[in-house]
Amino acid sequence: MTDETTQRPVARQREKELFTPASSERQAMQTQANMAGGVVCPRCGTINESDAKYCASCGALLQTGSCPNCGAELDPDADFCETCHHYVRPDVCSFCGASFNENDPYCPECGSPRGGIVCPSCHSLNDFAFCKQCGRPLTEEATQIMERLRELPDYQELVHLAREYNELQMQLPYSSDREMMSDQASMRLREHVLRLLAEDQGVAEPEIPQPKFHRQSKTDLDAEKDKKLEQISKLLGKMAVPAMPSAAKVRNYSMAQKPVGVRLAWKCNYKQALHSSPCGCAKPQMGGQWVILGHNTKQEIKDDK
């Protein structure tokens, strides 16, 4: 018998081992895990303890549930389905986070109805304490959170900056050098007339009030807008909401923070995804923060796709 004949079975065995389908390997691992009472990670193959929710090696989710409304896969700790956009916890009040009986029509803590609240301003039906359309607080707790926030210096500064940015957005830059020169001539004429009027009233050195808004070139206006956005962005980062046991508390506090006049998205700590608000996140209890859309990010809003 030749060497080639004796080596051929060995080579075939090695080839078989090299090209064994990954599914067979996973099946073997699953069988081994079942015998050992563990859970195989679908991502890296590590065998974890039977009650583990996440892989000890790579952090992948091990235990999943399904949405009762659409059947999509859900994290066991999720209370909202990001696929069909429905609240999925019948035993937890979506407005305040209190536990209640699945047959109770109203929450025993906050009194909110199980079927949702219709916003008195825009008439949209809401599962959470702030209106998803206009941002109005819909419960007593939501109103109290907003009142407490108004007393905080950071929130006051945030609202002030957002108002200033919104005013800049309303301004029209000069369209040409000729238009700029014409406007400057009008400003000098205004100052001259106001000075003459003050002198007629016996004021020797009058203080001429400056107009609230002054036009500027597009370059200067854009630079001023960017400066305001940078200040707002820093404040939003400073006011980031930490992880909390209650998803409702994070939603309520975060919605109360949102300033008017700036295009924002909620960046969750759960998947680092952008949502139109924390109400569109499956696990807001992990915390997150508001970010300015288009400012230092090219991500898209996940729940608007």
Write the pLDDT tens digit of every residue in 227-276.
999 999 999 999 999 999 999 999 999 999 999 889 999 999 999 999 99
For residue 32, give both structure tokens: 């081994």
More confident residue, 12 or 128: 128
Q: Give the rounded percent of residues in the chain with a pLDDT score beyond 70.
A: 83
CA 215 – CA 172 distance, rounded (Å): 7
| Residue 242, CA distances (Å) to 67, 192, 249, 288, 297 in order | 26, 56, 11, 7, 21
The pLDDT, as a whole number, for residue 111 is 95
Residue 19: band (very low, low, confident or very high) from pLDDT cuts 50, 70, 90: very low
Q: What number is the average pLDDT over the span 146-162?
A: 96
Residue 192: band (very low, low, confident or very high) from pLDDT cuts 50, 70, 90: confident
Instruction: Examine the pLDDT at 146 and tell me if it is beyond 70.
Output: yes
The pLDDT, as a whole number, for residue 199 is 81
Residue 18: band (very low, low, confident or very high) from pLDDT cuts 50, 70, 90: very low
Write the pLDDT tens digit of every residue in 55-97.
888 776 676 788 988 999 888 889 999 999 999 999 999 999 9
Short-list 240, 295, 286, 239, CA closest to 264: 295
CA 75 – CA 87 distance, rounded (Å): 13
Cβ burial of 180 (10 Å; 0-12, 13-18, 19+) is middle
Any alpha helices (H) in the chain, and if so which ranges? 3-18, 22-36, 140-149, 153-170, 177-200, 218-238, 247-257
CA 167 – CA 283 distance, rounded (Å): 35
The pLDDT, as a whole number, for residue 230 is 96
The pLDDT, as a whole number, for residue 186 is 81
Instruction: Examine the pLDDT at 22 and tell me if it is beyond 60.
Output: no
Instruction: Examine the pLDDT at 279 and tell me if it is beyond 50.
Output: yes
More confident residue, 6 or 146: 146
Q: Do the Cβ atoms of 304 and 276 come closer than 8 Å? A: yes
Write the pLDDT tens digit of every residue in 36-46.
677 887 778 88
Instruction: Examine the pLDDT at 5 and tell me if it is beyond 70.
Output: no
Instruction: Examine the pLDDT at 156 and tell me if it is beyond 50.
Output: yes
Q: Following DSSP, what letter does each residue of 26-95 receive, concatenated?
A: HHHHHHHHHHHT-EE-TTT--EE-TT-SB-TTT--B---EE-TTT--EE-TT--EETTTTEE--TTB-TT
pTM listed for this prediction: 0.71
More confident residue, 73 or 300: 73
For residue 66, give both structure tokens: 């399904």
301: three-class secondary structure by DSSP: strand
Write the pLDDT tens digit of every residue in 112-125.
999 899 999 999 99
The pLDDT, as a whole number, for residue 32 is 58
Mean pLDDT, the chain, integer: 84
Q: Give the rounded percent of residues in the chain with a pLDDT score beyond 90.
A: 52
CB atoms within 10 A of CB 47: 19
